[in-house]
Structure 1
Amino acid sequence: MDSKKTVFILSDSVGETAELVIKAGLSQFYQDYEIQRIPYVEDTKTIDDALNRSKDEDGIIGFTLVDPKLRNYLNEKASALDIEAIDIMGPMLQAMERVFDRQPRLEPGLVHKLDEDYFKKVEAIEFAVKYDDGRDPRGIARADIILIGVSRTSKTPLSQFLAHKRLKVANIPIVPEVEPPEELFEVDRSKCIGLRIQPEKLNDIRKERLKALGLGDQATYANIKRIHQELDYFDKIVERIGCRVVNVSNKAVEETANQILRLIKG
């Protein structure tokens, strides 16, 4: 039976990428092995220590080092000591440098920063779904942005658009017959944005919505008197909160979202 091999994994970040690649290769062999990960390599002494251990234990080395000086040092020393060293990142960076005709950034750990950014986006999207249309007022305190407005003022699409910017958004419908949740009046008002719309524009939108649902456009939902009543109540709530307002009339979701971002960041 083959003796157990020790695989030393060196990385200028956490070493996760190198370990995944090494394990993928090892899976092709009936070989007992042990992995020892050496993360955050920043100097030649750490490399020397790993090489000496590998020499003593008849091990091999797999590494991801973006710094060309450290990478070249490890390759040269490993060759001189007759140690098998697998440069996972080097050949790929060199090939990409030739193809893209530009220098790599040479910043360790960027893939994990990208992963973190991705998961923040997913978390924000899930948040927007969970706290859409006032489903759970507990989201108000946790939100980066709270959107309030009457029905058909693009609260949901705006929430999703802003979620893709990694912002947690809760939206609350404003209806005269329903008192808004208490949390809305306790939160930092700078996080709250009211969505205002012209009555005539809202009337047109609601009529089209009713038609799409196969309903007549004479329902109270699209009645101009009712719309004025809702918008008057919206204005009272906005004044009570003291929040800023964005007019969404005749604006695309992207345009409104960018205006909201400017207000929040300003």
Structure 2
Amino acid sequence: MTPDQTPICYIVSDSIGETAELVVKAVSSQFNAQDCEFRRIPYANDIETIKEVVQEAQHFNSLVAYTLVDPELREYMEKSTREYRIQSVDIMGPMLTSFQKLYKKSPKLEPGLVRKLDESYFKRVDAIEFAVKYDDGKDPRGILQADVTLIGVSRTSKTPLSMYLANKRIKVANLPLVPEVKPPKELFQAPKEKIIGLVIDPYKLNDIRKERLKTLGLRSQANYAKMDRILSELEFCENIIKEVGCPTIDVSNRAVEETAQKILHMIRGREENE
């Protein structure tokens, strides 16, 4: 190895190596290191892989930067790079030690957790955006794309349920059933097990709608809260649910969280049977 050789930075990770590469490139930019060659070695989960990297690196003007959560692999990397007089940087080790002292407990030592957290976050964001886009029957095409579609008359908690489930990374569309509006064809094209009908006691719905009118500053005697109107809507809803052939949940005396857990249980059961 000679000092005038083009520098090579080996980025070794037990996951895909994105974190280590970002750190290395951020630092190298401070030196205008445009001639530096970066070689990423992902999924280095055994000593043999690390040994191969070190044996190659000894022949170049090199630096080994690594993120390894396994203490045995970190120790081997440190020992072997020192033995071959290769510059090395343990990016994750010192931080793991500091957090261990901070939390007073041992780390999980599971590679790739940051990526898993990121994927979970973006799935939740996608699900929330989906719920907003396909809320209240705005676009019936969402019914065919949804993990689950909620149908029912007004004030059966379709929107709150959609948002709650979206935070669990479930893509939900919801559709209000109104006698004057013919349901979209997509409702009958989607798999019936992906549709859930929300039903409610008429007297409970009457109370809910009266309260809703009050908050809007409207008279509680409006047609929206009249019992004959409510019974007509519920009958229409029941007929559509029978035609679709989907399961139902009675939301009369259930909190949103309780109904959501029941829906999640139904989704998990469906997935196990697929």
Normalised-by-shorter TM-score class: over 0.9
Q: Is the 8 A contact 2:20 2:66 kept in 1?
A: yes
Identity of aligned residues (%): 56
Q: Deviations over 1:48-88 (max 9, x none)?
A: 33223333221111100112111111101111222110001
* 1:26 equivalent among 17, 25, 28: 28
User: What is the 5 A alignment of 1:139-178?
Assistant: 139-178=142-181
Structure 2 residue aligned with 1:109: 112
Partner of 1:249: 252
Corresponding position of 1:90: 93
CA contact (8 A) 2:5 2:61 kept: no
Structure 2 SS opposite 1:251? coil
What residue is the counterpart of 2:18 in the other structure? 16
TM score, norm. by length of structure 1? 0.93
Report the more deviating stretch, 105-114 or 59-68. Answer: 105-114
- Comparing 189-198 with 148-157, greater Cα deviation is found at 189-198
Partners of 1:47 and 1:247 lie apart in 2 by 59
Give the 3-state SS of the residue equivalent to 1:82 in structure 2. Answer: coil
Distance 1:119 1:210 in 2: 37
Q: Deviations over 1:199-257 (max 9, x none)?
A: 12212222222222222222211222111110111111111112111111232211111
Answer whether contact 1:201 1:249 (CA < 8 A) is retained. yes
Assess, with a 3 A threshold, how the Cα gap between structure 1 residues 139 and 25 changes in structure 2: closer, same or farther: same
Q: 2:196 aligns with which of 178, 183, 193?
A: 193
Q: How does 1:29-40 map to 2 (within 5 A)?
A: 29-32=31-34, 33-40=36-43
Q: Check whether the contact 1:4–1:31 (CA below 8 A) recurs between aligned residues.
A: no
- CA-atom RMSD in angstroms: 1.8
Q: Distance in 2 between matches of 1:83 and 1:211?
A: 75
* AA matched with 1:82: R
Q: Classify the secondary structure of the residue corresponding to 2:206.
A: helix
What number of residue pairs does the alignment pair up?
265
Measure, in 1, the Cα distance between the counterparts of 2:267 and 2:50. 47
Which residue in the other structure is 1:75 paired with?
Answer: 78
Match of 2:264 in 1: 261
Task: Kindly report structure 1 stretches of 4+ aligned residues shifted beyond 6 Å.
Answer: none
**Residue 68 of structure 2 corresponds to which residue in structure 1?**
65
In the alignment, which residue of structure 1 is the partner of 2:272? none
Query: TM-score normalized by structure 2?
Result: 0.90
Deviation at 1:4, TM superposition (A): 4.8
Work out the CA distance in 2 between the residues paired with 1:25 and 1:264: 47
Give distance in 2, aligned partners of 1:47 and 1:116. 28
* Shift, 1:40, TM fit: 1.2
Q: How does 1:127-138 map to 2 (within 5 A)?
A: 127-138=130-141
